[in-house]
Amino acid sequence: MAAAACLLDSIRVADLPTVARLFSEPKVRSFLGGPVDPQIAQQRAAELAQQARAWAVRPNPGNSSLLGIVVLDQHHDLQDLEVSYLFLPEHWGRGYATETVHQVLAHAFGIMRLRRVVAETQSANAPSVRLLERLGFRLLRSVSRFGAEQSIYLAEPPFFHAAT
């Protein structure tokens, strides 16, 4: 797979319909409890745009298209920050998630000086599991939540490395 070229940017008002699509798209939500009602999706998109650690993923500086989002937010355990990501299905498999999650981890460990970041994914979501492991996350524990087994992964600066 060729290396992706993309960048993190702020979520703009013009992005809100596409961000809402991320919450209502059945393929995107297949391991996230299914699509949400369009009105709720619009509300979540608007809330996300106000978060300081939520980024739009764009192909390059001259292209304002939205490929997906990456968020660094409080995890369910209330002890750690969690990195999460949602990408439109037409952009899957191109390395965008790997590249941008790597950028967010570099920010978390370099700028924010965090000692650890977690990521939670449904254990059955093989592509997400591969992405996390490729970035140096290690399985911390499994829990039953949202009606399915979830895998909670941990990244720490000594284990974190660039995707290869």
In a domain, 76, yes or no: yes
DSSP 76-91: TTSSSEEEEEEE-GGG
User: Which amino acid makes up residue 2?
Assistant: A
Q: Which helix (H) or strand (E) holds 66?
A: none
pLDDT tens track for 85-132? 999 999 999 999 999 999 999 999 999 999 999 999 999 999 999 999
In a domain, 34, yes or no: yes
8 A C-beta contact, residue 29 and residue 36: yes
In a domain, 1, yes or no: no
Other residues' Cβ atoms within 10 Å of the Cβ of residue 135: 22
Q: Is the pLDDT of residue 158 over 80?
A: no
Q: Which helix (H) or strand (E) holds 20?
A: helix 16-24
In a domain, 25, yes or no: yes
8 A C-beta contact, residue 123 and residue 105: no
What does the pLDDT read at residue 87? Answer: 94
Query: What range defines the domain where residue 57 resides?
Result: 7-155
Task: Using alpha carbons, select from 146, 83, 151, 147 the residue that is nearest to residue 123.
Answer: 151
User: Which SS3 state, helix, strand or coil, does residue 48 take?
Assistant: helix
In a domain, 160, yes or no: no
- Helix, strand, coil abundance in the chain, percent, nearest 5: 30, 30, 40
In a domain, 164, yes or no: no
In a domain, 161, yes or no: no
The number of folded domains in the chain is 1
pLDDT tens track for 54-89? 999 999 877 889 999 999 998 878 789 999 999 999
Tokens of 24: 């209502």
In a domain, 60, yes or no: yes
The CATH number given to whatever domain includes residue 50 is 3.40.630.30
**Residues 151-161: b if buried by 16+ CB within 10 A, e if exposed:** bbbbbebeebe
* DSSP strand pairing (138-145 vs 148-155): antiparallel
Beta bridge partners of 83: 72
What does the pLDDT read at residue 63? Answer: 84
